[in-house]
Amino acid sequence: MYFFLYEEEFEPFFCEESPVTHLYFGRAVSKEMLGRIGLNCPCLVELVVCANGPEPLDEELIRIAERCKSLTAFGLGECEVTCSGFVEFVKMCRGRLTQLSIMEEVLIPDDSYNMEQIHGEVSKHLGRLWFPDMMPTR
């Protein structure tokens, strides 16, 4: 079942726990709405967020990792997450993430991890080799 909703129409959708398993946000979605996914969609298997504002999504991703124990596929496009926040998200999901697609531009280096360190740390927690996706230059 597919829904096409504008963000202002999400309120009834997230009134209580929802049996949603796959969510694709093709348009920009707010931090608040992403935070509600972790609270209201415990059956989530796949989440793709194409765009968000310029604020890091660390807390929202950690909440999703804590509550969505069936999450196996995750993708972020034009969003921001600190390298530490992303590593924490991956640690919490561990090897159950069979699909992980994050654009390199999404990751914000911080005091704990830079861009050279992130792929090794994430690979360690996933149990397989992982690199962020790169934007084609041509």
Q: Where are the domains of the chain?
A: 17-126
Of the listed ranges 6-10, 57-61, 72-76, 102-106, the one predicted with least confidence: 6-10
Give pLDDT tens digits for 106-138: 999 999 999 889 999 999 999 999 999 876 655
Q: Average pLDDT, whole number, for the chain?
A: 86
DSSP string of the chain, one letter each residue:
------GGG-GGGGSS-----EEEEEEE--HHHHHHHHHH-TT--EEEEEE--SS--HHHHHHHHHH-TT--EEEEEE--EEHHHHHHHHHHHGGG--EEEEBGGGEE--SS--HHHHHHHHHHHHTS----B-----
